[in-house]
A and B are shown apart, each in its own frame.
Chain A
Amino acid sequence: MENISSVFTIIESKRQSNKCIVNINSMMRFIGSLLSSFNEKISICLLIIFLCTVSLSSAQQSKEFTSSALKAMGAPNNPKVEIAWNRYYDSEQLHEIMQRIEKAYPNLVKISSIGKSVEGKDMWQMTISNFKNGDPDKKPAMYIDGNIHSNEIQGAEVVLYTAWYVTELYDEIPWIKNLLDEKTLYVVPTINPDARDNFIHSPNNPHSPRSGLAKRDDDGDGEYNEDGYDDLDGDGNITFMRIKDPSGRYKVDPSDSRLMVQANADEKGEYTLLGWEGIDNDGDGQVNEDGPGSYDPNRDWAWNWAPRYIQYGSDHYPFTFPENRSVKNFVMEHSNIAAAQTFHNNGGMILRGPGSKSDEGTYSRQDVQTYDFLGQLGEEQLPGYKYMVLWRDLYTVYGGEIEWFYGGRGILSFTNELWSEFDYFRRAKDSTRDVSQQDLYRFDKILLFSEGVVPWKKFQHPQYGEIEIGGIKKAWTRTAPSFMIEDMCHRNMAFTLFHLYHTPKVSVDSIVVKNLTGGLKEVTAIISNERVIPTHTSQDAKNKITRPDWISLTGGKIVAGGIMENRFLGIMKEQKNRPQRLNVENIQGMGSVAVRWIVEGGNAFTVTVDSEKGGIAERQSK
């Protein structure tokens, strides 16, 4: 707690000093113009000092400075919380940013820890909603997380950008305001903080670690994590090892000397590739065979779970890992969650379940239509992204997170694979899935000025002798380069916000009161769902995961009541037990149900609909 408050103090003082700097700047400008007639050398010196101070202050620009700029559509001009969306933050930095947002918008944001990681780090979660307009836990909600695969790092930034954007623009954009008034976002930027920090702070390649950091004996020798990668050249990246070898089958690519390609069938090679940087640490004749962790946290979910002889990366049983167990508990405790989104990298995909062909039957035609509606919207918002079914269009997977959301909880859920092949050169759509190694190197050369690749250099390897080390850096090819992060964040956020928008919204459309004989009245109400997602997906309704929607009447003594099977023909199915609170199994997306009561006495009636995933609404009869 003390740490947190001290962090705030630092931030505050930074802001103060920035203001001073800007004031000094304007003074400098004034002095500069006065002095311009003086010695040219002096004025150049002053100019340099001036430029330095401007660049120092640009990270935390003042309100006065930014408000005079023309607001580009999108980001806020005067954010209360200034965040540079051009780098990747570690778990502590993410938490600090979350705290800054919470502090700036206490009526919209609340942070809490949903549990601890294997290494004891808190898993920070933000609840985002207008807290002054109803209990956020009773509003239709969406759950969003990122970074289950720790190397797939940018998911956390997309999630955090979403939290930042909707809070900063709440007052400015009516669509955002309405959304947070009516609905709730539960976001967890990283659900794998241990390994996220390992990815950032330890030597890794773009693919490591995919796992969390619970210790596993990958090679079955009774020792744990005894032979991981080794950063032999000490540059913080795990790149490749090659050895000069006249009988090797690899050669240098003619188009880029940093790239290795296979020699042609009728051609001699020059090198043998020795795999990722490392040594045989445990002397078992294998290199890098037992690194940190080594399981797949996204094969650890209960729906359609399979043991590891079927599903690589699955572990003891569903929710073996505390990070996933905490997410599961959070979701099960929040039955208002009607939508879910997880972020991975890469490939430009909007994925939905099922993960295996055998699970096709779980996805009803009706729910697939809703999925299709949202998926197609996503394809429009995310050029280069393709809406796909996991098993059919990607690969078979058992025990994935989004499959549990739908299969286990009846919640419509997507995984987006961030950073697509299309993003490199934005070529015509038909070639989006066709990016070669040469393209990656080309992009690096002409847009990153060769920053993304470690050039080959010699190294004396204790086991292989003289080798060379080089290749793609960990932060390149799976993660967007700095200048494309904001674009990626915004477009993906737009997709999830529309998903949230289309979570069910119930309303009482009309109440018609008809006088019957003997002082009895017939009260008929039409209850609607104004959005595309039903109050209960088929999987939810079939397995009674969340309770039925409750429709109740007050204002008179209820004699009987029920749900209209056909409101045009006036056919009602009576609910004998407790007719004052009718149980409606589901209200379809953009659909309605009619209910009817026979009431004794009363003139003014109130009809209330209370749906776990669709919210609460009421109306009085005229």
Chain B
Amino acid sequence: MKKIILTILVMCVHLFPQYHTHNELTRNLQQLSKKFPVVTVESLIKTIKGNDVWVATIGKGETQNRKAILVVGGIEASSLVGSEHAVRFIQNLAESYGKTDSITRLLDNTTVYVIPRANPDASESFFTKPVVERETNYNPFDSDGDALVDEDDVDDVNKDGIISWMRIKDPHGEWIVNPDDPRVMKKADAGKGEKGIYRLLSEGIDNDHDEEWNEDPAGGADFNRNFTYNYQFFGKNSGAHQISEQETKAIADFIFNHQNISLIFTFSSNDNLTTAWKNEPSKGESPVISSVMKEDEDYFGYISKKFNEISKLKDAPKPVKGEGSFSEWAYFHAGRWSFAARPWWASEISRVKDSTTVKDSTKKSSETKKEDKDKSEDPVIKTLKWYDATGAKEIAVPWSKFDHPDFPGQEVEIGGVKPFIFSNPPAESLDAYSKPYTNFLTFLAGQLPSISLSNQKVEKAGDNVYRVSVDVINNGFLPTNSAMGAKTRWIRNVRIVLDPSKGNSLSGGKAKQILEPIKGSGGYKTISWLVIGKGSITIHAESPVAGNAECKIELK
């Protein structure tokens, strides 16, 4: 019965304001592809748990021969909200195609690929008991180097179906109860005269009796730590090596095999949209490019500005600098324009609160201070306040005493904020939070480079000798290649082929040539040839990322 209702709802083009299990997400994608010919769904790889990592292609006909963007959700597996946004984005495009002119035009020229849930095995832990925030897949891995594999995972010690926290009274502990909110703990700051009184561990028992708790859980690698850029060998959850996982390999291979993808958007905390990447002079002798290239910086700046305008989201937490992250890899190693934003943070309510407080002009100076304080406020506390303001209940397990077998004679309490609370909003706000992203992504897909040929000139230099020239113009916003794309050589530059027709020959210029990147918004390159002969010649311009163009020139 539930299935039928769900199906009907999907057919009626409305996703439940709920988080979808991977089976439900799969069904939704299949329904979308059934209903809308503009949507096709394929599996990139089957995971260890037998789930498919889906990629949806939105576009008609020869989608691989069109310039393209890719949207990726769930690369941080505990953040399910991005997956939900991604499916809504697919749905919005599918429904608008053929109805909304701008979207029809967009999809006739551009292919949109979406991988809504990159790590379904890990994301599924949102739905299964005991609920635990999991970032890694289930590829067996000996995390603590004791030759035992996955032998000490978390355990639902108090059998409440939730993996929360254990605090153990311990004079050598480093933790104290957070003075701003007793639901959470805080590391004692010796500089402020604070002294720790608790040890803090995730809920579990020392299954392998090595006096470490939960140090070798099931799996695996965190996909957002498994890519090559700034990869941390032997890092926590970073995998056996770069791209060690079949899923990350499948995703990377998909990108390398799709030369038409020049832009990637990722739902992740490695945000470069609320705050744009800045070029920084390179340090020391290292040949590694570790900040956005100077030539690309302004484009990132502009897109970031547009994100803030279109989404109207404010007060984002500080972006996280990645280690082996997907979105940074996409730019620095795969040579794509890469944009990332968190799919959600506790923003709305704080904004409302600020505006109400600002109203009180008499307290302006003190309020300004308060605003500053708000900005510097611990995002944990801020998020908890946000939940409280929405009236959300049961976001935390109350700390309560537990007789833990590993700590005889010590006071152990289990509790704390529940898993997923900090990274996923309540289901009922999914619709509201997806809109800014749908709008922005639609805008973003329209920024790709787009080439045409114009200003053809034929000049007679002598009998049967013609000087021919043509301008290759980029009418899109972005250049035909970023500096990084050109550097990595994974993005092909525009190629011009002159077909001199039968009997004609080329005396000056090359029959085939590859052009340097052409700037956007009308940037152009003039190409000229010296042709000996008569009749006509044909000129083709080809680019997997900026489209194709052709023109015929009469020699006269």
Contact = CB atoms under 8 A, between A and B. Distances in A.
Given A220-B493, A316-B252, A547 B146 contact: yes
Contacts of A302: 233, 241-242
Given A307-B333, A309-B488, A284 B234 contact: no
Size class of the contact patch on chain A: 35 or more
Given A220-B489, A221-B514, A577-B210, A317 B144 contact: no
Given A358-B286, A578-B209, A307 B488 contact: yes
B511 interface: yes
A86 to B, nearest CB: 40
Nearest to A316: B256
A577 B253 CA distance: 45
Interface string A213-227: 000010111100000
A307 B513 CA distance: 25
Contacts of A328: 241
A306 interface: yes
A307 B256 CA distance: 14
Nearest to A311: B287
A217 B489 CA distance: 10
21 contacts: A217-B492, A219-B514, A282-B512, A283-B511, A283-B512, A284-B510, A285-B511, A302-B241, A305-B228, A307-B332, A309-B487, A316-B243, A316-B253, A317-B242, A317-B333, A318-B242, A544-B145, A545-B145, A577-B211, A578-B209, A583-B146
A283 B253 CA distance: 31
A407 interface: yes
Contact of B511 (A217, A284, A317, A358): A284
A124 to B, nearest CB: 25
A289 to B, nearest CB: 11
Contacts of B253: 316
Contacts of B513: 284-285
A408 B511 contact: no
Contacts of B489: 220, 308-309
A134 B201 CA distance: 43
Interface majority SS on B: helix, strand, loop or mixed?
loop
Contacts of B512: 221, 282-285
Contact of B240 (A282, A306, A332, A358): A332
Interface in B479-497: 487-489, 492-493, 495
B287 A310 contact: yes
Contacts of A222: 259, 492, 495, 542, 544
Contacts of A547: 145-147
- Tell me which of B209, B210, B259, B512 has the highest count of chain A C-beta atoms within 10 A of its own C-beta: B512
Q: Size range of the interface on B?
A: 35 or more
Interface of B: 144-147, 209-211, 227-228, 233-234, 240-243, 249, 252-253, 256, 259, 285-289, 332-333, 487-489, 492-493, 495, 510-514, 542, 544
Interface string A451-490: 0000000000000000000000000000000000000000
Nearest to B248: A317
Contacts of A303: 233
Given A318-B241, A328-B241, A332-B240, 16 more contacts: A220-B489, A220-B514, A221-B495, A221-B514, A222-B495, A284-B512, A285-B512, A306-B287, A307-B488, A310-B287, A317-B252, A318-B243, A576-B211, A577-B209, A577-B210, A577-B211
B228 A317 contact: yes
Contacts of B145: 543-547
Interface of A: 217, 219-222, 282-285, 302-303, 305-310, 316-319, 328, 332, 335, 357-358, 407-408, 543-548, 576-578, 583, 612
B19 to A, nearest CB: 32
Contacts of B510: 284-285
Contact of A305 (B210, B242, B332): B242
Most buried by A among B147, B211, B252: B147
A548 to B, nearest CB: 7
Contacts of B487: 309
A407 B514 CA distance: 40
A407 B241 CA distance: 11
A307 B510 CA distance: 31
A222 B147 CA distance: 47
In the A-B complex, the 6 residue pairs with the smallest Cβ-Cβ separation, listed nearest first, are: A544-B145, A547-B147, A302-B241, A284-B512, A317-B243, A543-B234
Contacts of A544: 144-146
A255 B191 CA distance: 80
B209 A310 contact: no
A614 B228 CA distance: 33
Contacts of A548: 146
A307 B228 contact: yes
Contacts of B287: 306, 310
Contact of B492 (A220, A306, A307, A357): A220
Nearest to B512: A284
Contacts of A319: 241, 243
A318 B511 CA distance: 37
A217 B492 CA distance: 10
Most buried by A among B210, B252, B287: B287
Contacts of A310: 287-288
Contacts of B252: 316-317
A71 B338 CA distance: 69
Nearest to A356: B287
Nearest to A283: B511
Contacts of B259: 222
Nearest to A217: B492
Contacts of B233: 302-303, 407-408, 543
A220 B513 CA distance: 10
Contacts of A284: 510-513
A319 B252 CA distance: 13
A283 B233 CA distance: 45
Contacts of A307: 228, 332-333, 488
Contacts of B210: 577
A53 B261 CA distance: 68
Contacts of B333: 307, 317
Nearest to B256: A316
Nearest to A220: B492
A6 to B, nearest CB: 38
A408 B233 CA distance: 8
A407 B231 CA distance: 14
Contacts of B243: 316-319
Contacts of B234: 543
A109 to B, nearest CB: 28
A319 B245 CA distance: 12
A317 B490 CA distance: 12
